[in-house]
């Protein structure tokens, strides 16, 4: 089974761009970067050639000898069976962090040979580049972030008819109960597997929860090995401690990151580099607090107050040793962590749609908190997230009274409806947030 990924559409737009630059693809390990590049190449080009600098170390000599793109192309043709023809061949530079000269060559392809289509990627690219003090040709590459599979992509694979129904909606209206039931079922299954493609395939092919757990644990073990391979020795135990503190951090009613949960007496100055390592590896999302939702949001972030979520809700569940049966039971009571799982899944759905902007969260003197605040074009939109059907609390009302937003959103497991500036939306549909914003604008204009 293959899972259709939305990033392919980004690649297609890039392919036809008149000011095309080589792509540098970033993202956490095991999210399907190589698969996406190869699938795009097979679907949209006559030829697709991949050069793996980890498996083929002899390739490095090609880039050390020359920086001339045409000469590089001629030599690369000796390492592949298919021709390299401008406009007809996609070139994939995989594990590019293993060859700094190849990374730097992207500058020359941008300036002197933009007719060639190149996508480069690598394991823990940002981390590896920083550790090896490599230079990235800033301004000469298009950096694209890739994320784990979203629920929108999961639903397209698991229940195509329900996906098509949601995708074709052109107004905000109550959904039929049969659709709501299917969404609830598939969403809980998604929270079990998370967005790691291998885990999803095991789930959708009915291999059993044991196989899903085995895949997720294998990925967690791989991440642990990456700590040792790519981090500085003194940072390894600190990275490990932060990573394993995530369930405890998110189990608090107030999910603000607390250093002492990592270790008694822990201080930010000792652990900040380790936290940044996890962020650059794509393993966590760091969401900063704002006390005022001004434009632009980035000007109001408070760097000393933030929350940390896992890159994937399935990995978070496995890291917390939360049984799959608890997640799939709608009446299971696991209190604060149920809310954390809900927030993590919504964050996974909306982040890929924000065009590399980060969401924030809002607090007011410790009396009110809105889980996410996003900037969408010229709008600042507050987003509340509730687990299941419990929508008690007045934080969003406090925010609305203070700032008077044009509209606001609440994600829960209640049905879709709009009332006086408030969009109540089923959490599984967070991945269609662009649709809801468009429809809200048509209502309020």
Looking at the domain assignment, is residue 163 inside a domain? yes
Judge if 174 and 239 occupy the same domain.
yes
Token digits for 92?
């994939």
Of the CA atoms within 13 Å of residue 201, those in its CB half-sphere come to 10
Judge if 138 and 156 occupy the same domain.
no
Per-residue model confidence as pLDDT tens digits over 5-55? 999 999 999 999 988 999 999 999 999 999 999 999 999 999 999 999 999
Distance from C-alpha of 357 to C-alpha of 345, rounded to nearest angstrom: 18
Per-residue model confidence as pLDDT tens digits over 395-424? 999 999 999 999 999 999 999 999 988 999
- pLDDT at 135 (0 to 100): 79
Judge if 82 and 215 occupy the same domain.
no
Q: What's the pTM value of the predicted model, to 2 decimals?
A: 0.94
Looking at the domain assignment, is residue 1 inside a domain? no
Q: How far is CA 372 from CA 289, 347, 399, 411, in A?
A: 9, 8, 12, 11
pLDDT band at 365 (very low <50, low <70, confident <90, very high): confident
Domain end position, chosen among 80, 113, 145: 145
- Res. 303: pLDDT tops 80: yes
User: Which is nearest to 136 in space by CA: 174, 97, 164, 172?
Assistant: 97
The number of folded domains in the chain is: 2
Looking at the domain assignment, is residue 25 inside a domain? yes
- Res. 1: pLDDT tops 90: no
Judge if 103 and 194 occupy the same domain.
no
- Res. 330: pLDDT tops 80: no
**Structural domain that includes position 81:** 7-145
Of the CA atoms within 13 Å of residue 195, those in its CB half-sphere come to 28
Judge if 179 and 65 occupy the same domain.
no
Judge if 89 and 156 occupy the same domain.
no
Judge if 53 and 198 occupy the same domain.
no
Judge if 140 and 156 occupy the same domain.
no
Judge if 56 and 195 occupy the same domain.
no
Judge if 178 and 232 occupy the same domain.
yes
Distance from C-alpha of 42 to C-alpha of 190, rounded to nearest angstrom: 28
- Res. 443: pLDDT tops 90: no
CB count within 10 Å of CB 437 equals 19
Per-residue model confidence as pLDDT tens digits over 118-168? 999 988 888 877 777 777 888 999 999 999 999 999 999 999 999 999 999
- Res. 265: pLDDT tops 90: no
Q: Following DSSP, what letter does each residue of 247-268 receive, concatenated? A: HHHHHSSS----HHHHSTT--H
Looking at the domain assignment, is residue 86 inside a domain? yes
Residue at token pair 């929350």: 307
- pLDDT at 57 (0 to 100): 92
Looking at the domain assignment, is residue 2 inside a domain? no
Judge if 261 and 126 occupy the same domain.
no
Distance from C-alpha of 64 to C-alpha of 443, rounded to nearest angstrom: 59
Q: In what order do the strands lie in the sheet with 23-26?
A: 47-52, 89-94, 117-121, 23-26, 142-145
Judge if 188 and 311 occupy the same domain.
yes
Average pLDDT, the chain: 93
- pLDDT at 123 (0 to 100): 82
């Amino acid at each position: 089974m293959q899972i259709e990924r939305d990033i392919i559409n980004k690649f297609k737009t890039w392919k036809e761009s008149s000011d095309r630059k080589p792509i540098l693809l970033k993202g956490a390990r095991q999210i399907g970067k190589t698969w996406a590049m190869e699938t795009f190449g097979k679907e949209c080009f006559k030829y697709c050639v991949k050069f793996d600098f980890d498996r083929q170390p002899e390739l490095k000599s090609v880039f050390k000898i020359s920086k001339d793109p045409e000469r590089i192309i001629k030599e690369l043709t000796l390492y592949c069976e298919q021709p390299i023809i401008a406009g007809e061949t996609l070139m994939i530079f995989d594990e590019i962090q293993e060859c700094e000269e190849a990374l730097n060559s992207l500058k020359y392809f941008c300036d002197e040979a933009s007719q060639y289509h190149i996508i480069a990627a690598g394991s823990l690219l940002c981390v590896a580049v920083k550790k090896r003090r490599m230079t990235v040709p800033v301004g000469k590459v298009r950096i694209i972030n890739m994320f784990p599979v979203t629920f929108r992509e999961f639903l397209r694979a698991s229940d195509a008819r329900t996906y098509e129904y949601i995708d074709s909606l052109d107004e905000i209206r109550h959904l039929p109960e049969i659709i709501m039931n299917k969404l609830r079922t598939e969403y809980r299954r998604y929270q079990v597997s998370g967005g790691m493609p291998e885990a999803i395939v095991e789930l959708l092919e009915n291999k059993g929860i044991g196989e899903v757990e085995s895949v997720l644990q294998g990925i967690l073990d791989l991440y642990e090995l990456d700590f040792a391979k790519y981090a500085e020795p003194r940072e390894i135990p600190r990275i490990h401690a932060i990573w394993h503190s995530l369930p405890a951090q998110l189990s608090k009613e107030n999910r603000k990151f607390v250093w002492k949960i990592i270790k008694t007496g822990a201080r930010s100055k000792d652990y900040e580099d380790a936290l940044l390592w996890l962020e650059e590896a794509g393993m966590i999302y760091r969401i900063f607090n704002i006390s005022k939702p001004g434009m632009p949001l980035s000007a109001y972030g408070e760097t000393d107050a933030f929350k940390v979520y896992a890159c994937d809700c399935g990995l978070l569940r496995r890291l917390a040793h939360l049984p799959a049966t608890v997640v799939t039971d709608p009446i299971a009571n696991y209190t604060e962590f149920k809310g954390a799982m809900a927030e993590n899944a919504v964050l996974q759905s909306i982040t890929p749609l924000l065009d590399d902007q980060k969401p924030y969260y809002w607090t007011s003197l410790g009396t009110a908190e809105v889980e996410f605040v996003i900037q969408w074009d010229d709008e600042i939109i507050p987003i509340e997230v509730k687990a299941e059907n419990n929508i008690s609390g007045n934080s969003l009302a406090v925010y609305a009274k203070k700032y008077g937003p044009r509209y606001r959103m609440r994600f829960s497991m209640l049905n879709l409806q709009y009332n006086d500036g408030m969009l109540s939306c089923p959490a599984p549909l967070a991945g269609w947030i662009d649709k809801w914003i468009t429809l809200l604008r048509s209502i309020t204009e």
